[in-house]
């Protein structure tokens, strides 16, 4: 009887099984706390970002259902439901701007990806003065878009512009860079490429320099030449980075405003009027904020679809990259 009492006093009235269960619960709670701690630290930033993102988007979606102009408060605007969206589907100017935007984004990002990745492949080597050349390549993206527009507007000038003066000195006819629909569209693409190809170049070069040397060495051992290494090793391994880079540039290309505004103001006609310019014009000149919000939502849906498609493609590219890395490591074992 005394022995039993003594044992209970030593364990605080608990059996060894109870103590083990309590220790197990304590370890479980500790593990849960360790897992949740990073999320607690991230929570304030996530809340701020969610409010900063969701509130404007929600406000824009709500405004798109209103007949609203800047002279009235939003509470005074009339509710029109889907009328703004339906009317835009029958607006030929909006449809034309929509397709101009698609054509501009596809062409400019496509050309920038080809030139940027090509330059990265060309300059990914230890050559004297290469650091200086890389620095020179990234200078255009540091210039404000309005300044870029003014620079190119001057160079495209029909009489005193450097391009037409050069052509005349060679005995060639002047080119209507900004007064002809086709030439104006090409001129806008050239200006955008000049500014943003360095962005592609920087990210592509970083992806190249981070490639696993084991995969490249395995390709050289197998007798692959430079072109085969680029097509079957380097580009597949770079693909996840290139997909993200392409997505970032696509999103930015859909939002281009300042360069086109300064160069052509959307003209001649509607040949260079992309959706961002039309949205700004609808809100400021035509004073139709509800219609402008509906246009913005159409653009938002388009960007969401493109982002989702490229996200799915990126998953495929990452799995292919993992297979190439695993094959290279297996060959070296």
Q: Are strands 78-79 and 66-67 parallel, antiparallel or unpaired?
A: antiparallel
Structure confidence at residue 122 (pLDDT): 86
Structure confidence at residue 65 (pLDDT): 95
Whether 23 and 148 map to the same domain: the answer is no
**Across all residues in the chain, what is the average pLDDT?**
86
Structure confidence at residue 107 (pLDDT): 96
Whether 99 and 18 map to the same domain: the answer is no
Q: Does the pLDDT of residue 49 top 50, yes or no?
A: yes
Q: How far is CA 224 from CA 150, 191, 231, 234, 238, in A?
A: 47, 38, 10, 12, 18
Cα–Cα distance between 111 and 114 in angstroms, integer? Answer: 5
Q: Between the CA atoms of 236, 105, 154 and 143, what dihedral angle is there, to the nearest 10 degrees?
A: -60
Domain that holds residue 205: 86-332
Is residue 166 in a domain? Answer: yes
Residues 53-91 have pLDDT tens digits of 888 889 999 999 999 988 888 888 899 999 999 999 999
Listed in sequence order, the residues at least 6 apart from 144 whose beta carbon sits closer than 8 Å to its beta carbon are 258
Closest CA to 303 of 243, 254, 239: 254
209 versus 278: the higher-pLDDT residue is 278
Of the candidate ranges 76-85, 143-152, 226-235, the one whose mean pLDDT is the lowest: 226-235
Cβ–Cβ < 8 Å for 321, 236? yes
Cα–Cα distance between 113 and 306 in angstroms, integer? Answer: 17
Give me the percent of the chain exceeding a pLDDT of 90: 47
Cβ–Cβ < 8 Å for 183, 129? no
Based on the structure, what is the number of domains in the chain?
2
Whether 24 and 151 map to the same domain: the answer is no
Q: Does the pLDDT of residue 177 top 90, yes or no?
A: yes
330 versus 103: the higher-pLDDT residue is 103
Residues 237-291 have pLDDT tens digits of 888 889 999 999 999 999 899 999 999 999 898 899 999 999 999 998 888 999 9
- Model pTM score: 0.82
The residues with which 78 forms a beta bridge, in sequence order, are 67
Is residue 277 in a domain? Answer: yes
Whether 262 and 305 map to the same domain: the answer is yes
């Amino acid at each position: 009887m005394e022995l039993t009492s003594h044992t209970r006093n030593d364990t605080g009235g608990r059996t060894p099984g109870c103590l083990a269960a309590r220790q197990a619960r304590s370890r479980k709670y500790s593990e849960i706390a360790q897992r949740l701690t990073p999320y607690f630290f991230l929570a304030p930033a996530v809340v701020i970002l969610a409010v900063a993102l969701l509130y404007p988007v929600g406000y824009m979606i709500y405004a798109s259902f209103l007949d609203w102009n800047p002279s009235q408060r939003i509470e005074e605007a009339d509710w029109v439901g889907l009328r703004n969206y339906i009317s835009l589907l029958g607006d030929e100017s909006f449809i034309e701007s929509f397709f101009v935007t698609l054509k501009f984004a596809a062409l400019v990002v496509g050309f920038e990806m080809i030139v940027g990745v090509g330059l990265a492949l060309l300059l990914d080597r230890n050559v004297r003065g290469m650091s200086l050349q890389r620095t020179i390549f990234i200078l255009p993206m540091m210039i404000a878009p309005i300044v870029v527009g003014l620079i190119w507007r001057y160079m495209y000038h029909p009489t005193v512009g450097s391009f037409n003066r050069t052509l005349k000195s060679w005995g060639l006819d002047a080119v209507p860079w900004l007064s002809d629909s086709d030439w104006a569209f090409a001129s806008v693409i050239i200006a955008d490429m000049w500014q943003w190809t360095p962005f592609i170049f920087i990210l592509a070069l970083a992806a190249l320099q981070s490639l696993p040397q084991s995969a490249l060495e395995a390709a050289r051992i197998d007798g692959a030449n430079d072109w085969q290494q680029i097509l079957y090793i380097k580009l597949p391994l770079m693909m996840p980075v290139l997909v993200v880079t392409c997505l970032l540039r696509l999103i930015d290309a859909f939002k281009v405003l300042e360069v086109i505004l300064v160069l052509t103001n959307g003209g001649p006609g509607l040949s260079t009027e992309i959706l961002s310019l039309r949205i700004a014009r609808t809100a400021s000149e035509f004073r139709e904020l509800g219609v402008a919000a509906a246009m913005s939502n159409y653009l938002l849906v388009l960007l969401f679809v493109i982002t989702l498609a490229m996200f799915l493609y990126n998953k495929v590219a990452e799995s292919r990259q993992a297979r190439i890395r695993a094959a290279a490591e297996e060959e070296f074992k």
